[in-house]
Amino acid sequence: MGAPPVLAIADKLAGFSDHWNPRIIGKYNGNELRLAKLLGEFTWHSHADTDELFLVISGTLRIEFRDGARSLGPGEMIVVPRGTEHRPVADAECAVLMIDREGEPNTGENPSQLTRAALESI
């Protein structure tokens, strides 16, 4: 087994333009590294059995919680604890790396029009 490849996130982001459609760019220890472009409001949702990490690559992401909101800029991250209801919002396009448990629905326990049945690996 040789050395693993280096992934260029900018190149991966250049390969798609749609919003709220995470792509899997890698896996490790039962987790998926998901890359997405976000614009507008997502749905309120939670993940009962797993935390969710958001790392902003470009732009600004606001994550709303029932008791307030947090804003993140490039290079900033937040871990949303399991079971915590949240809603990501991007007033202008932003790019985000998310870490979720392998196979975890992107809308958690709250299916909506933004639920992706299967995520593409790129």
User: pLDDT tens for residues 77-108?
Assistant: 999 999 999 999 999 999 999 999 998 877 77
Is residue 4 included in any domain, yes or no? Answer: no
Is residue 1 included in any domain, yes or no? Answer: no
Which residues, listed in sequence order, are joined to residue 70 by a DSSP beta bridge? Answer: 63
Instruction: Provide the number of structural domains found in the chain.
Output: 1
Is residue 106 included in any domain, yes or no? Answer: no
pLDDT tens for each residue of 9-46 = 999 999 999 999 999 999 999 999 999 999 999 999 99
Distance CA 3, CA 121 (A): 20
pTM attached to this predicted model = 0.90
- List the domain range (segments joined by +) for residue 19: 9-101
Q: Are 106 and 114 in contact (CB under 8 A)?
A: yes
CA-based nearest residue to 63, from 79, 47, 51:
79
- Higher-confidence residue of 59 and 102: namely 59
Q: What is the CATH number of the domain that holds 22?
A: 2.60.120.10
pLDDT of residue 22: 95
The count of other CB atoms within 10 Å of the CB of residue 37 is: 21
